[in-house]
Amino acid sequence: MMNNIRSYRGLEPNIAPDAYIDPSAVIIGNVEIGAKASIWPTVVVRGDIHRIHIGAETNVQDGSILHVSHDSRFLPGGAPTILHERITVGHQAMLHGCEIHDHCLIGIGARVLDRAVLKPQVMLAAGTLVTPGMQLEGGWLYIGAPAKRGRKLTDSELDYLDYVALHYTDLAVHHRAAIA
């Protein structure tokens, strides 16, 4: 196993053979990365105290951090981080113990905290803070700190959610070839 991809307490990352992991990204422990997903430079995915799942064709962009919460009396059961499919996580986003459903876009520098849930087709503006336990309805743009529902997404924006995810899937193929 490469130095940047490592086990923790006997838990090894499970990475699809066609996923792209940049050599500067760090993947630790109980992490599953799906088909054609991409993890970009300086991303940290630390599944040390709970599990992290990154679904197919999901991209986690440069400098983002994914972590989890452990089981305790303060948070019974803890909180895994679950990213479903075709999600775009913008640069330097932080996702902690949350669940993000298909076709979402997490804006640059956004934060999504413990047990927050984003339903399919949510777009978070850059810098948005989703506080613990928030439930965001699909088809909307959310902005601010704390996140507030802004407006319905346009048809063009809904199309963009898939476009950008597939763009990064294609881009990852070329980056992977460049380091092979």
pLDDT of residue 180: 82
pTM: 0.97
Distance (Å, rounded) from C-alpha 4 to C-alpha 136?
A: 33
- Helix/strand/coil (H/E/C) assignment for every residue in 4-37: CEECECCECCEECCCCEECCCCEEEEEEEECCCC
- CATH topology for 5-179 is UDP N-Acetylglucosamine Acyltransferase; domain 1 (2.160.10)
| Per-residue confidence in pLDDT tens, the chain, 180 aa | 568 999 999 999 999 999 999 999 999 999 999 999 999 999 999 999 999 999 999 999 999 999 999 999 999 999 999 999 999 999 999 999 999 999 999 999 999 999 999 999 999 999 999 999 999 999 999 999 999 999 999 999 999 999 999 999 999 999 999 998
